[in-house]
Structure 1
Amino acid sequence: MKNLRISLFIMLVSFLFAACGKKNEGLGSVGTPPTGLDLKAVVSTNGSGSVAFTATATNAVSYEFDFGNGNFQNSTNGTVTYKYPAEGTFTAKVTAKSSSGHTASKSLPVTISFATGGTTPTWSEEFNTDGAPNPSVWGYDLGAGGWGNNELEYYTDRPTNVIVSGGTLKINLKKEDYMGSAYTSARLKSDQKFAFKYGRLEIKAKLPAGGGTWPAIWMLGSNYATSPWPACGEIDIMEHVGNQLNKIFGTLHYPGHSGANGNGANTTIPTATTDFHVYAVDWSATSIKISVDGTVFQTVANDASLPFNQNFFIILNVAMGGNFGGAVDPAVTGGTMEIDYIRLYQ
């Protein structure tokens, strides 16, 4: 009798496990999955980086949007608007979910550009040819002192200080004794080779780090010989000092606003020295706007009384120390400003 009771107990337990297993199997197939999933993206044409996403699907009760850059957003109606902080092509993805927990996904590429003057630049430097920078566009300032800025480097045109390779222009600051200076670097200028009046100028660049480094992307009025600075005007699109890591300065200099009294503002970009960012100026007869990755952080009204209604040329350089660069970290042996492209939209 004892053995019979044990056998009956084992049979009952086995039946219960089998029933539970079948019940759990059935849970996975209850409900209807989303069907007919569609995803659309409308990219803003104003250069803001804003994109309006719309997803639709039958039987969907929620949508998760993956913007392809590590950011996500949920929506119950399938519509979201997201502002990309950087240019590039991103694979956006939406995952629709039904009330039963079933999902369906769909992806599409989204291309972001901060250009507002059209989709094709009127002039550009892409830096795709290895070797020295294009001599039809670029000349050099050579020498020491930084022309009144008390900089510590000697500017050269040597390949060790300036070179195009791998699709980017590299301006290399080096710690070395040269012509009486403790550092060398390069300062390129398009003076008497390329200048322009008004438009949107974009420069995609990655900056050097280190106490004392002072990279700059700026423009100067072409009439500087007859209207000496600051009467010729100066537009500093990007300045960065290693002693204030990741703080980007945008400044205008003109009569009444020279030297430390420049009309300027700043913004913080956490990855200025580790990633490429797009530094830009939108310049017209009525305003000058300086931005990083499409976000304007400095605006100055322009009018006929200011020297910003004539041709300007471009200057690219990496200084060391000086009036703005400040104290130099002796452990810094070099640094590179790397420029992917320069594009003008008019």
Structure 2
Amino acid sequence: MKIFIDFTALVGIFLLLSCSSIDRSNGDGEVIKPSNLSVSATVAGATAQNPNGDGSGTVNFNISATNATSYKILLGNGETEGLTNGSFTYTYATAGTNTYVIYVSAYNSGQFVSSTISVTVFVGTALVWSDEFNVNGAPDSSKWGYDLGAGGWGNNESQYYTNRPENVIVQDGLLKIKTLKESFSGSNYTSARILTKDKFSFKYGRVEIRAKLALGAGTWSALWMLGSNINTASWPACGEVDIMEHVGNSQNRVHGSLHSPGRSGNTPDTSTVMVPNASTEFHVYSIDWSATSIKFYVDNQLFYTFANSASLPFNQNFFLIINCAMGGNFGGAIDPNFSASTFEVDYIRVYN
């Protein structure tokens, strides 16, 4: 009886597969190549006065082809979508007016036909998240959490990160991260590291941070981001974007770096720029991040362009981190006369 049931099931599966292939094969069982591929793109809010749309970046695609069972669309910005339905809506995020060449393929098993169109889309710049640090007290708990502990999680750092007001406070319109020489839970220094993990993350856009950096040999001020999948992908597979790093042992030299598999630790993709008075004056540190590039700026002056691609981990949501470390693999030797220094942030703003 068991043999009979298994045989019947196999016959049923065969018939099911045969029936499912009728609509994509001719009478001789040959797969029919798709034909009559048609692709149209309608930009949301497009008018005679605003032919490239209303600034939302939304485009409605309609794709059809005779005998097609699936579609693939390359969106011209490094992203690809696979579809079984020819109706598809996508929102471009790169601000400004940009023209994208769209590649579309219609498939029927191993047979396919392709076509291209171009679409010009206007995306307005909009603020999607910010902290102006205008309310005195602890950092806004709806926006920021804390990393607490010693060692810097593999960086051999000398500070203990706390959430005490002695180390992190919003005061007089500024976030102040205070690094202190003191004995605390087995460490000789204290500081703070705040982050938006599980509270805010984003994919692509512009980040602007106005800050005045810590001073002193051994200090290591950082404004940076990690991939939101770090709990499952781990580092460096999750990706790391260092918007700004500055070590007191190389005063006024600002680093912009990216860490990914094979390009991490001491061998990241990186560039530097000299920023006069980095620890005595405020400067704006920013990146423009898209599927094709990550551009690093200081005071709106471009100093590094990194070529992004779909094979890298920089095409997912990231969260923000602000901290000041002491010593460690990158911070280096600490001045024995160091007593205290403050890393100040005026604002952080994220645009689409």
TM value normalised by structure 2: 0.64
Gaps of 5+ in 2: 1-122
Write out per-residue CA displacement over residues 227-268 of structure 1, whole angstroms, 9 at most, x where no aligned residue: 110000000000000010000000000011010100000000
**Matched residues in 2 for 1:216 and 1:197: separation?**
20
Q: What is the aligned counterpart of 2:299 among 289, 293, 299?
A: 293
Which residue identity lines up with residue 139 of structure 2 in the other structure?
Answer: P
Shift of 1:123: 1.5
SS at match of 2:330: helix
Matched, 1:193 2:204: no
1:271 shift after superposition:
1.0
In structure 1, the partner of 2:176 is: 170
Q: How far apart are the structure 1 equivalents of 2:251 and 2:125? A: 33
Deviations 1:251-295 (A, max 9, x none): 000011010100000000111001000000100011001110011
Which residue matches 1:17? none
Is it true that 1:232 corresponds to 2:238 in the alignment?
yes
Return the letter of the residue paired with 2:283: H
- Distance in 1 (CA, whole Å) between partners of 2:214 and 2:312 is 33
What is the CA distance between 1:174 and its match in structure 2? Answer: 0.4
Partner AA of 2:128 in structure 1:
T
Q: CA deviation at 1:218?
A: 0.3
| Aligned counterpart, 2:134 | 128
SS in 1 for 2:127: coil
> 2 CA distance for matches of 1:134 and 1:209?
26
What are the residue-to-residue correspondences of 1:139-288 with 2, within 5 Å? 139-288=145-294
Q: Residue type matched to 1:172 in 2?
A: K
| Alignment counterpart, residue 144 of structure 2, candidates 138, 142, 145 | 138
Q: Equivalent residue of 1:260, what SS?
A: coil
CA distance in 2, matches of 1:134, 1:118: 28
- Which residue type is aligned with residue 290 of structure 1? F
* Mapped pair 1:314 → 2:320: yes
In structure 1, give the amino acid aligned to 2:243.
I
* Rounded Cα–Cα distance in structure 1 between residues aligned with 2:182 and 2:127: 39
Of the candidates 339, 343, 350, which is equivalent to residue 344 of structure 1?
A: 350
Q: Deviations over 1:132-185 (max 9, x none)?
A: 000011001100000000000000000000000000100000000000000000
- The question of whether the paired residues in 2 share the 8 Å contact of 1:318 and 1:337 is answered with yes
Aligned to 1:75: none
**Distance verdict in 2 for CA 1:118–1:273, change over 3 Å:** farther
- Please tell me whether Structure 1 or Structure 2 has the larger radius of gyration of its CA atoms: 1
Letter of the structure 1 residue corresponding to residue 316 of structure 2? Q
Kindly tell me: are residues 225 and 119 of structure 1, through their superposed partners in 2, closer, same or farther at Cα, counting changes over 3 Å? closer
Structure 2 CA distance for aligned equivalents of residues 341 and 118 of structure 1: 21
Deviations 1:84-107 (A, max 9, x none): xxxxxxxxxxxxxxxxxxxxxxxx
CA offsets per residue over residues 198-247 of structure 1, 9 Å max, x none?
00000000001110000100000000111110000000000000010000
Alpha-carbon deviations, 1:2-50, whole Å to 9, x = none? Answer: xxxxxxxxxxxxxxxxxxxxxxxxxxxxxxxxxxxxxxxxxxxxxxxxx
Secondary structure of 1:296's match? strand
What percent of counterpart residues are identical? 63
Aligned partners of 1:172 and 1:336 also within 8 Å: yes
1:321-336 matches, cutoff 5 A: 321-336=327-342
Instruction: Please show how residues 2-17 of structure 1 align to structure 2 within 5 Å.
Output: none
Please tell me the residue identity of whatever aligns with 1:177: S
Correspondence for 1:72? none
Equivalent residue runs for 1:88-99 within 5 Å: none
Report deviation, 1:119: 6.4
Tell me how far apart the structure 2 counterparts of residues 334 and 194 of structure 1 sit (CA, whole Å): 31
Question: Runs of 5+ in structure 1 lacking a partner?
Answer: 1-116
Which letter maps to 1:329? D
Partners of 2:231 and 2:170 lie apart in 1 by 30
Deviation at 1:118, TM superposition (A): 5.6
- Displacement after TM superposition at 1:334 (Å): 1.1
Equivalent pair of 1:140/1:187 in contact (CA under 8 Å): yes
Partner amino acid for 2:346?
Answer: D
1:204–1:339 Cα contact (<8 Å) kept: yes
